[in-house]
Each structure stands twice: as structure tokens, then as C-alpha cells.
Amino acid sequence: MSDISADLGTGRASVGAVLDYAWTAGEFTATDAMASTALTRSTAIDALATLVDAEILRELPNARAAGAYRAGRPARRFALSADLGVVAGIDAGDTHLAVTIADPLETTLAELRSDIDPDETPAERRAIILDRLQQALAAAGRTRDDLLAICVGVAAPVNRHGASPPHPEGFWERTNPGLTDALRGWAPVVEVKNDAALAAVAEGAVGAAAGCSDYVALLAGERFGGGVVIDGHLLHGAHGGVGEGVVFEHIIGVGAAFGLVPSLHHQLLAAVESGEVDAGSPVGRLVDADRIDPRAVLELASAGDADALLVTGQLGEVLARVVGVLGSMYDPTHVIICGGVAESIEPVLAAARAVLPEQLHLPAPELLASTLGAEVVSLGAVATARRAAREHAVPLLAEQRLSRG
């Protein structure tokens, strides 16, 4: 329940109950609120009046005025105010930056996506993120004063205070360059989260794990990293390190935390060098490019090209070992491959499924490709910011307005 009663005395508990109901109710009447909250009619009406006075709820034209009522006394109808503010979801990846501005319910107002130089200093990266956030707000016709909550996803473990531990090569400090401090004061709630954890939030909310209580969302593009949900709870750890991919550097047959994109590159190079794949074949000729396009290999595999199937089959064996470790550690029912690579990864998944049961003693998890594409972290960040707005920022806004009144 919203904590609106915290500073206003226990008499406001009914206000919090009605506000919680309003978030998912759409348009509703006092009778609807009573039925959902078990409040008496007079208490529900008092709570509704309080929230209307605070401009958190708006009263709609009654059913007769709307042309939908013919006889008797028309019911008063309510809905959340259309202008409570906005939330920001930021996907601050190693080489990309995506900023989404959305309302607290369901509408996206602006999206900005751009590449980012992985060699930028922490200070430069921090400045770029703040600048893009400002640009996205302007594109949505909003300002900093409208922000209710911000959630940023970064490619690093993040503790409960939004800080990342030191990395031997400085990678985590660069990908999370003090963002909690940098964004302090921009919104009532600022959260910095691991990107794979946010991918897990998105998959549970609108993706392949909807309705599932035990799953791993595996970001598998450039590096492996897992967001782990067990018994309906997103796991975190003391330093935010649950699902961190460095463990795969110690797994025989995997040997690195590199994701499927660089692994596919290495598998193809090795296959051409060993003679398993003819350098003049459609797949072999891809090696001549500066960077092998994984989609080209995967599309050839989907079309039945024997060389492409050989390479994707070898990569599938690697993925099966990765998923086997996750299955043995967490016992999920699903492992979902997330990120832009997911849209064409089915040939690798088919090969992995064939050998996955050999990798663990427990029943093998179902291996799925995400349908959320490259936006999966952004979707999770927006969902997390919306939850923060619902549970903290809007109740705080109501308290402030009521206190002034």
C-alpha cells in the first residue's frame, strides 16, 4: 500500500487505500472503490474528496453528462489526474544510451537512443547521460520539475545504495560513474540498477516470464549477465552481484563472460582456420568483414546452410553449459535470452536445447528467446520508475499538497 499515511496520521490510511486502487482502476466510482478497499461509503467518499482536493484524482463528468445514463441519480466518477508528472527510464549500456520519458501509467512520451563511446571517461559519460536526459525531457515537453522517478540500468553490479564495486579494470566505475549522486535532486526517487535485473523486470511484466515465479533473464549480446527471479522475488546480493557473468570464466567449455555475439565471431573464425568451414563458402566469406554480423550467420543457419548450422551448433553447446550452470544454481523454470540478439537466435537455442538436459541433474529449464528486443532494459527501467512513482513519489506529492492545504 502507498505510504501516504506515514506523515499524516493513521486517519489517512483510507486515502492510501483508495490511491492504490486508483492506479489500476481507470475510471471508477465510489462504489467501485468501496468494493475493492472494504471501506465504508462515508470513508471512501472522504478519501476521494481528499485526493481530489490534492489534485491527485480528478472528478469526471457524471454518467448523465457523458450520455450514458438515463434515470436515477448518476454516480460520481473518478480517475487519476492526467498530469501528475513523468518518469524516466535510462538504459546506459557500454556502447549505447537510451532515455525514455513516460507518464506514470502507460504512455511513452519521448525516446532518445544513441551510441556512446566506450572510451569516454566517467566524467564525460556522466555529463552525456545528464544531457540526454535533459534533451528527452524537452522532446516530451517537460522539465526536471515534472520528474517523479528515474531509473537507470547500467552494465555493472549495483548495491542497494546505487553504487557499484570497484572493477579490476575500472569497467564498473565507468559504466556507473556515480549516477546516484549525479541525479540526486532530479526527482523524488532515483534508482540505479543492474541492466540484467531490469531485463528480468521487463520480462516478468510484459515478456516471456509474465506469470512466472522462477526465471532468469540472460542478457547475452556482448557479455553474459543474468537477472534472477526466484519465488517471485528479484534476487540482489550484498553488492548487487547475483547473476554476474564472471562465473562463466571458470566453466570448462565456456571460459569467458563474453556473450553470444563475440562468441559467434570466435566460433566462426576457429571453424574457418581449422578447415571445418570453407573460407569460400557463404559463411566463410563473412570472415573477411571487419566485424562479423551475427544476424547474417544466424539467417543462413535458419535457411539450412550446413556451415552456419555447424557454427551455431557449436555455439549452442556453449550456451547449454551457461544455462546448465544457471539451472543448477537457481532451479528456474525458464531461461530467457534477452537483448537485440534474441530476435534471430533460434538456431543456437535449438542446438542448446538438444544437449541441455546433459548439463544438470535437475529438470532442464525451458530456453526461450525474448520478444522485447533491444529495448528490454529500457522497458524494465520505465516499469521500475513507474512502480517508484506509484509507491513513493505520488503519495509524497499528495502529502505535500495536503499539508499545504
Please answer whether residues 284 and 310 qualify as being in contact, where contact means their C-beta atoms are separated by less than 8 angstroms: no
Domain count, the chain: 3
pLDDT at 320: 96
* CATH number, domain with residue 199: 3.30.420.40
Q: How confident is the model at residue 70 (pLDDT cuts 50, 70, 90)?
A: low
Q: What is the 8-class DSSP label of residue 317?
A: H
Residues 63 and 75 occupy one common structural domain: yes
Q: CA nearest 297: which of 260, 329, 324?
A: 260
Q: Does one domain contain both 244 and 123?
A: no
| 302/230 same-domain check | yes
pLDDT value for 22: 95
- Which pLDDT band, with edges at 50, 70 and 90, does 67 fall under? low
pLDDT of residue 249: 87
Per-residue pLDDT at 10 exceeds 60: no
Q: Give the pLDDT band (50/70/90) at residue 235.
A: very high
Residues 215 and 359 in one domain: yes
Alpha helices in 56-170 (DSSP H): 122-139
Grade residue 255 by pLDDT with cuts at 50, 70 and 90: confident
| Same domain, yes or no: 119 and 227 | no
Beta-carbon contacts of residue 234 (< 8 Å; ≥ 6 apart): 197, 200, 201, 227, 228
Same domain, 244 and 231: yes
**Shared domain check, 387 and 338:** no
pTM of the model: 0.91
Are 168 and 235 in a shared domain? no
Q: What is the pLDDT of residue 205?
A: 95
What confidence tens digit (pLDDT) does each residue in 165-207 have? Answer: 999 888 999 999 999 999 999 999 999 999 999 999 999 999 9
CA dist., res. 144 & res. 184, Å (int): 12
Residue scoring higher pLDDT (185 or 76) = 185
pLDDT surpassing 90 at residue 246:
no
- φ/ψ region of 100 (left if φ > 0, alpha if ψ in -120 to 50, else beta) reads beta
Question: Regarding predicted confidence, which is higher, 290 or 43?
Answer: 43
Q: Which pLDDT value is given to residue 218? A: 97
pLDDT at 64 exceeding the cut of 80: no
- What pLDDT is recorded for position 8? 41
Q: What is the largest CA-CA distance in the chain?
A: 85
Give strand pairing partners of 97.
92, 114
Task: Pick the closest to residue 247 from 314, 327, 325 (CA basis).
Answer: 325
- Residue 59 is part of a domain; what is its CATH number? 1.10.10.10
pLDDT band at 69 (very low <50, low <70, confident <90, very high): low
Q: What is the pLDDT of residue 5?
A: 41
Q: Is the pLDDT of residue 89 over 70?
A: yes
Residues 139-153 have a mean pLDDT of 97
d(CA 4, CA 10): 10
> 289 and 143: one domain?
no
* pLDDT value of residue 75: 82
Average pLDDT score over the chain: 91
Give the long-range contacts of residues 180-185, CB within 8 A, separation 24 or more.
182/126, 182/129, 182/130, 183/130, 183/150, 183/152
Quick check: is 2 in a domain? no
What integer pLDDT is reported at residue 302 of this predicted model? 94
pLDDT at 188: 97
pLDDT band at 402 (very low <50, low <70, confident <90, very high): confident
Residues 27 and 137 in one domain: no
Residue 398 resides in a domain: no
306-350 tens-digit pLDDT: 999 999 999 999 999 999 999 999 999 999 999 999 999 999 999
Q: Kindly state whether residue 403 falls inside one of the protein's structural domains.
A: no
Q: Are residues 387 and 244 in the same domain?
A: no
- Domain-ending residue, one of 61, 82, 103: 82
Query: Residue 334's domain spans which residues?
Result: 210-371
Q: Does residue 340 sit in the same domain as residue 235?
A: yes
Give the separation between CA 315 and CA 203, rounded to whole angstroms: 24
With b for 16 or more beta-carbon neighbours within 10 A and e for fewer, the 238-268 pattern comes to eebbbbbbebbeeeeebebbbbbbbbbbebb
What are the angstrom distances between the C-alpha of 214 and each of 96, 231, 312, 336? 29, 6, 28, 11
The pLDDT of residue 297? 94
Q: How confident is the model at residue 61 (pLDDT cuts 50, 70, 90)?
A: confident
Residue 360 lies in a domain: yes
